[in-house]
Amino acid sequence: MKTENILVIGGTGKTGRRIVKQLEVLGHNVRIGSRSNSPSFDWHQPEDWDAAVDGMDKIYITYQPDLAVPGALEAIEQLVKKSKRANVKKLVLLSGKGEREAQLCEQVVIHSGLDFTIVRASWFNQNFSENFLLEPILDGFVALPQAEANIPWVDVDDIAEVVVKSLTEDKHNGEIYELTGVRTLTFKEAVAEIAKASNRNITFVPITVQEYGEGMRKANLPEDFIWLIEYLFTEVLGNPELAEISNDIEKVLGRKPIDFSEYASKVAKTGVWNHKSLV
């Protein structure tokens, strides 16, 4: 395998930092695309993107906070143009399974004229340990809308491994992968598995999207974050396509996906669900 120069946008995030680690183990030259890196990469500072993409062979793209938000499509279009001018050879885009708005951004990458792989991921297991669902788990009280939605949770470690294969092996060019676990779980079922693995009592209460939004506003969370969460809980969790299970992880990696119970057991051993002070 020849050494390549790879830009990992969001290289300090959930998928990005895992991808960076795997690429470095393989001996590639990795540039972390983040505000704190040099050259820096900030989705709100397009004037700096030329320096970030300069000299790169391939780019992993994850858009913060989500491809569905206003402005994402224009940002992806601009990044693709700059990537082509810099003679980048391939783009790998992290997208969302069941997100119709995200598919507009996918089309920009697909029709870019560059090699590409689209990675559509279901909801992350790690939302419970590295994201917005951690604090409710620590509080022992989880109140969420769409309580009956069947979600084929996917592990971020699996996503990262598929992305690394997509970046480093030409056989994945032109592919659209949908990444899911092997089964679906509702929020209540997922919380029950976490409670069992961490030996804790955690209460789950179903609420409406409206009630959830009101709760976020009372907590003084930013309106754009509230909009995104409400979008995800209505448009995405309300989309029956989300519940469909795919075997693409097994196709790419030659093994079954990490199951939610395996994830819960592994995280429980770290103690992250037992220490309120960590939040």
Q: Output the six-digit token pair for 177.
A: 């992968």
Tens of pLDDT, residue by residue over 9-28, are: 999 999 999 999 999 999 99
In the chain the first and final C-alpha atoms are separated, in Å, by: 41
CB 258 within 8 A of CB 157: yes
pTM score: 0.96
pLDDT in tens, 167-223: 999 999 999 999 999 999 999 999 999 999 999 999 999 999 999 999 999 999 999
Tokens 């990795």 locate to 30
Residue 22, amino acid = Q
Q: Where are the domains of the chain?
A: 5-122+154-180+244-257
Q: What separation in angstroms does the CA of 266 have from each of 44, 106, 116, 191, 201?
A: 36, 33, 33, 15, 18
Class of domain 5-122+154-180+244-257: alpha beta
Is the CA virtual torsion 247, 253, 258, 263 positive or negative? negative
